[in-house]
Copies of this chain bind each other. A is one copy, B any other.
Amino acid sequence: MVNFKVIKKAKNSQARLGVLKTSHGLVETPALVPVATQAVVKTLTAEEVKETKSQILICNTYYLHLRPGEDVVAKVGGLHQFMNWRGPLMTDSGGFQVFSLGFGKDFGVGKILKERRKEEIGYGQQPKLLKITDRGVVFRSLLDGKKTFLGPKESIKIQEKLRADIIFAFDECTSPIADYKYTKKSLERTHQWAIKSLETLNFKPKTQSLFGIVQGGRYKDLRIESAKFIGALPFDGFGIGGEFGADKKKMIQMLNWTTKELPVDKPRHLLGIGYLEDIPKIIKTGIDLFDCNVPTHYARRGVAFTSQGELDLSKTRFLKDKAPLDKKCSCSVCQNYSRAYIAHLFRAKEITALKLLTFHNLYFFNAFVEKIREKIKNGKLS
């Protein structure tokens, strides 16, 4: 069971410093939650992830259900044992895959999010590869075409076997281009699934904590309605899922409205959002945890985050650059390797390049969030 304590609140925002206590250790919040979809932070070992100052990871229920299957993980003793990550651990519910493998697949997640398609998805419309009903979602496996049914009950049962410290209620993460009616009807469904998820969790003695998920798309009234509804249920914490529209300013506004409706004494987790420049703003809306694949995903494309901005290590000019990725960074990669070497490895298609960049980026993000915690502590977050 998690136990959450707000230690200090910022003066000019909703930002708060907290400690989340789990049976696998503490998480100082606000905190980045690195993504370990298939029970691994891509390219790294668990020992390395720990060295990047990462405190808690999030694995994916849907993907682990497909491969290797929750029974395999359970047999080895649960995810902590399986992946040798002895710290706090989350599993998301598979709800995001209702979007990413549904309308996200049909129209392209990138196109929807970046190009802001104009057409809207209306109520009654179904994605090509999934079937969404009030009971749950039929997925067609990307691996072998096999059909998989995930509903609130199924998701919780799988997550019980995976044994993460924090698990999430099953939801429908709606598409950012779903129209009002679709989003409203979907939200009703997500709320029913939240209740069903709570009813399903019957682990005795209770060692896992369940977070409910607020949805509502880009509609203010639905977000507030959802935060009120989910916030009133006996969850141990709350996820905020989905997307808030194209405008980042609006996103922050919407987050502010949402968190205001949630109980102050319980942790809030923002699902799948965390570009570097957004992190301080997100934290100021009162978010305690957020998972994001930006540091790891960009690393595998050759991009390093530094105090001087992003560096694209695939560029030839870095072959002559003896400097570390970031002179101000104290990670072991920056202590030991030059941009020239990492650029060489990346161009030579050496796996080690991806690993060095992933390590650095995670460390950089974690150090970045650590500094924000310091600022909240010292009353200096402006």
| A344 partner residues in chain B, CB cutoff 8 A | 38-39, 67-68, 72, 82
Q: Is A320 located at the chain interface by the 8 A CB criterion?
A: yes
Within A325-364, which residues are at the interface with B (CB < 8 Å)? 332, 336-338, 340-341, 343-345, 347-348, 350-352, 354-356
- Chain B min CB distance to A251 (Å): 32
A350 contact from B40, B320, B338, Cβ within 8 A: B40
Q: Would you call A76 and B332 a contact (CB within 8 A)?
A: no
Complex contacts, A319 vs chain B, CB 8 Å: 68, 72
Chain B residues within an 8 Å CB radius of A77: 322
Q: Determine if A148 is an interface residue (Cβ-Cβ < 8 Å).
A: no
Residues 27-45 of A, flagged 1 when their CB comes within 8 A of B and 0 if not, give: 0000000000011101111
Cβ B352 vs Cβ A68 within 8 A: no
Verify if A185 is at the interface (C-beta below 8 Å from B): no
CB distance from A237 to the nearest CB of B (A): 28
Known: A75-B320, A320-B72, A322-B76. A348 touches B84 (CB 8 A): no
Contacts of A320 in B (CB 8 A): 72, 75
| Chain B residues, Cβ within 8 Å of A233 | none
CB distance from A205 to the nearest CB of B (A): 24
Q: CA–CA, A369 to B332, complex, Å?
A: 30
Q: Is the CB of A345 within 8 A of B40?
A: yes
A68 touches B336 (CB 8 A): no
Question: A44 is contacted by which of B40, B82, B352 (Cβ under 8 Å)?
Answer: B352
Judge if A119 is at the interface, Cβ distance under 8 Å: no
Q: Is A46 engaged at the interface, CB distance under 8 Å to the other chain?
A: yes
Is B351's CB under 8 angstroms from A76's CB? no
Task: Return the contact of A84 from the options B42, B83, B337 (Cβ within 8 A).
Answer: B337
Q: A138-169: contact bitstring with B at CB < 8 Å (1 yes, 0 no)?
A: 00000000000000000000000000000000
Residues of A contacting B: mostly = helix
Nearest-CB distance from A311 to chain B (Å)? 17
Taking the complex as formed, is A277 at the interface, i.e. its CB lies under 8 A from any CB of chain B? Answer: no
Cα of A76 to Cα of B320 in the assembled complex, Å = 8
- State whether the Cβ of A47 lies closer than 8 Å to any Cβ in chain B: yes
- Residues of B near A348 (CB, < 8 A) are 38, 40, 67-68
Is B47 a contact of A351 with CB atoms below 8 Å? no
Q: With both chains docked as a complex, state the minimum distance between the C-beta of A344 and any C-beta of chain B, in angstroms.
A: 4
- What would 20 more interface pairs be, CB under 8 Å, given A45-B336, A76-B340, A355-B355? A38-B345, A38-B348, A40-B350, A40-B352, A42-B352, A43-B352, A43-B355, A44-B352, A46-B336, A47-B332, A47-B336, A68-B319, A68-B344, A68-B348, A72-B340, A82-B338, A83-B341, A84-B336, A84-B337, A351-B355
Give the top 10 A-B pairs by smallest Cβ distance, nearest first: A68-B344, A84-B336, A38-B348, A43-B351, A40-B352, A76-B340, A40-B350, A72-B319, A68-B319, A76-B322
| CB pairs A–B below 8 angstroms (25 shown) | A38-B344, A38-B350, A39-B344, A40-B345, A42-B352, A43-B352, A45-B356, A46-B336, A47-B332, A67-B344, A67-B348, A68-B319, A68-B347, A72-B340, A75-B320, A75-B322, A75-B340, A76-B340, A77-B322, A82-B340, A82-B341, A83-B341, A84-B337, A351-B354, A355-B355
